[in-house]
Amino acid sequence: MKNKIQAVKGARDFYPEQMLLRNWLYANMRSAAQAFGYQEYDGPFLETLELYAAKSGDELVKEQSFVFNDRGGEKVTLRPELTPSLARMVAARQRQLPRPIRWWSFGPFWRYERPQKGRSREFFQWNVDLLGVESPAADAELAAVAVTFFQMVGLTASEIKLQFNDRRLMDEQLATLGLAANKTAVFRLIDRRGKLGATAWEQYAGEVGVTPEQLNGLKALLANADLWRQSEGCQAFVEAGQALGIGPFLEFDPTVIRGLDYYTGIVLEARDRESEFRAILGGGRYDDLVGDVGGDRLPGMGFAMGDVVIGLVAQKYQKVPPLRPSPTQVLVAQFDQISPAEALRLAAQLRAGGLRVEWYPETAKLDRQLKYADVNGIRFAALLGPDELAQGCVTIKDLAARTQTTYARAAVVDALRQGLESQM
RNA sequence: GUGCCUGUAGCUUAAUGGCAGAGCACUGGACUGUGGAUCCAGAUGUUGCGGGUUCGAGCCCCGUCAGGCACCCCA
């Protein structure tokens, strides 16, 4: 380990194996989003600091963004999230975009945080947003997109829950308790309900300025699993969710608040039911954000899912199908008694027939070449040795079936195509 | 950004302050035209990095880097 240059802290290498996992997640995200008619888009990876300064939440911008001065002295930031870019892009074309706007995206984001399990400094995130519709059914659709993804990767309602709450409901309830004035601090208090011990939490409540009376009210509030029934919006949300078939995943949780300042209504958060990992996704309704970046008011709802936690969850529950990095279908072996050009010619012939063909680049012992095919999961080996060459044929070895057959040169492509159709 | 824990071969790991070992993987052979098993043999380390204490440091101390846990925040 001498003088090896290290990767940047919190950045990950994607070796072919990890790339398979990422692409598998991506493929399912795309399928889930497209099943609901969402269109793929992307924003720039670099944005002005100004874009985030207005809304995202102080900590995220001031402490957790990669910010630098470009050569012209402008403050530029590596995007820590996508929603502000989305709001900016939509605001710029507000008059010409047909509504509703259903968009999704998957790309890299950066946050300057201390890395931990499930959290890195550079990560990929799936964003799904629906703009121009302000209804509980729209909120439920977003939840259904997320659940559809879970189902596509094989995660069930017994493994995953999708928690929801409503900021408007909480606003009302806090106002009733006379806590509207320091709402931000109380939200933060609520957020820590499950984390702090009972006495520590109550002490913290006192520090925030919550009176003993208010504390009792707050505790009752947070213990009330049926609180959502007092909100017409929540009721309609659950109703629509049930119509969409995602009822088993949904779970009301009054302690789900979400940190981002721009949420104005329903907020969502998905977790594994064993609570081993941090949140799988987070999202919510943001009806004022587009207006705040200079557009006309345009209601929106969306969520974001990072690749790290869902990757860990999918692996823990063994949902990742066995994938192999090599795309090769046929390995053309090489024999030292004949010219390498013969192997190249055969490989070219097979490729011309539409097959994915890899050529073994040296005349190693045959068992070595076959072992290479084996460890890479290559199904077929094409053997063109002195015997076959003399007879104008090729031996095809099926490594999965452990059989081999010799074919006339002209019949090889068809034989391989047929063989590939029979999955082993 | 704060506190705590960890860092030994490619991977998993062992070693009361006293010769750095093992398993898996790898390489070669048994078997030079036939892969997953078996057997035999072999290679592999500045013990993350830098300093200090000591006759002697993988082990103790300081610093640093990286990872993990709890804060903070959040995907």
Q: How far is the CA of A375 from the C1' of B23 (A)?
A: 21
Q: Answer yes or no: is A288 within a domain.
A: yes
Are A253 and A107 part of one and the same domain?
Answer: yes
Are A350 and A277 part of one and the same domain?
Answer: no
- The pLDDT assigned to A113 comes to 87
- The pLDDT assigned to A2 comes to 42
- The pLDDT assigned to A57 comes to 59
Q: Answer yes or no: is A9 within a domain.
A: no
Q: Answer yes or no: is A1 within a domain.
A: no
The domain tally of chain A equals 2
Boundary-marking domain end, from A258, A283, A316: A316
Question: Nearest residue (Cα to C1') for B66?
Answer: A9
Are A115 and A262 part of one and the same domain?
Answer: yes
Q: Answer yes or no: is A6 within a domain.
A: no
Q: Answer yes or no: is A4 within a domain.
A: no
Domain of residue A134 covers: 16-316
Question: Nearest residue (Cα to C1') for B70?
Answer: A195
- The pLDDT assigned to A54 comes to 64
CATH code where residue A25 lies: 3.30.930.10
Are A221 and A350 part of one and the same domain?
Answer: no
Boundary-marking domain end, from A272, A292, A316: A316
- The pLDDT assigned to A107 comes to 96
Are A54 and A142 part of one and the same domain?
Answer: yes
Boundary-marking domain end, from A255, A281, A316: A316
Q: How far is the CA of A6 from the C1' of B19 (A)?
A: 34
Q: How far is the CA of A7 from the C1' of B16 (A)?
A: 39
- The pLDDT assigned to A257 comes to 86
Q: Answer yes or no: is A282 within a domain.
A: yes
Are A363 and A276 part of one and the same domain?
Answer: no
Are A33 and A164 part of one and the same domain?
Answer: yes
Three-state DSSP string of chain A = CCCCCCCCCCCCCCCHHHHHHHHHHHHHHHHHHHHCCCEECCCCCEEEHHHHHCCCCHHHHHCCCEEEECCCCCEEEECCCCHHHHHHHHHHCCCCCCCCEEEEEEEEEECCCCCECCECCEEEEEEEEEECCCCHHHHHHHHHHHHHHHHHHCCCCCCEEEEEEEHHHHHHHHHHCCCCCCHHHHHHHHHCCCCCCHHHHHHHHHHHCCCHHHHHHHHHHHHCCCHHHHCHHHHHHHHHHHHCCCHHHEEECCCCCCCCCCCCCEEEEEEECCCCCCCCEEEEECCCHHHHCCCCCCCEEEEEEEHHHHHHHHHHCCCCCCCCCCCCCEEECCCCCCCHHHHHHHHHHHHHCCCCEEECCCCCCHHHHHHHHHHCCCCEEEECCHHHHHHCEEEEEECCCCEEEEEEHHHHHHHHHHHHHCCC
Are A217 and A244 part of one and the same domain?
Answer: yes
Q: Answer yes or no: is A355 within a domain.
A: yes
CATH code where residue A345 lies: 3.40.50.800
Are A225 and A105 part of one and the same domain?
Answer: yes
- The pLDDT assigned to A290 comes to 87
Q: Which nucleotides of B are covered by protein (CB under 7 A)?
A: 1-3, 10, 26, 28-29, 31-36, 45-46, 48-49, 65-75
Q: How far is the CA of A122 from the C1' of B64 (A)?
A: 23
- The pLDDT assigned to A362 comes to 83
Q: How far is the CA of A367 from the C1' of B36 (A)?
A: 12
Name the closest nucleotide to A398, judged by C1' and CA.
B35
Q: How far is the CA of A67 from the C1' of B51 (A)?
A: 35
Are A270 and A387 part of one and the same domain?
Answer: no
Name the closest nucleotide to A126, judged by C1' and CA.
B75
Are A139 and A229 part of one and the same domain?
Answer: yes
Reading chain A (424 residues) residue by residue, the pLDDT tens digits are: 345 677 788 888 888 888 888 999 999 999 999 999 999 999 999 999 888 876 655 666 667 888 888 889 888 899 999 998 999 999 999 999 999 999 999 999 999 988 888 889 999 999 999 999 999 999 999 999 999 999 999 999 999 999 999 999 999 999 998 888 878 888 888 888 877 777 888 888 888 888 888 888 988 889 899 999 999 999 999 999 999 999 999 999 998 988 777 889 999 999 999 888 889 999 999 998 888 878 889 999 999 999 999 999 998 888 988 878 889 999 999 988 888 899 999 999 999 999 999 999 888 888 889 988 988 889 999 999 999 999 999 999 999 888 899 999 999 999 999 999 876 5
Name the closest nucleotide to A335, judged by C1' and CA.
B33
Q: Answer yes or no: is A8 within a domain.
A: no
Q: How far is the CA of A195 from the C1' of B26 (A)?
A: 47
Are A215 and A143 part of one and the same domain?
Answer: yes
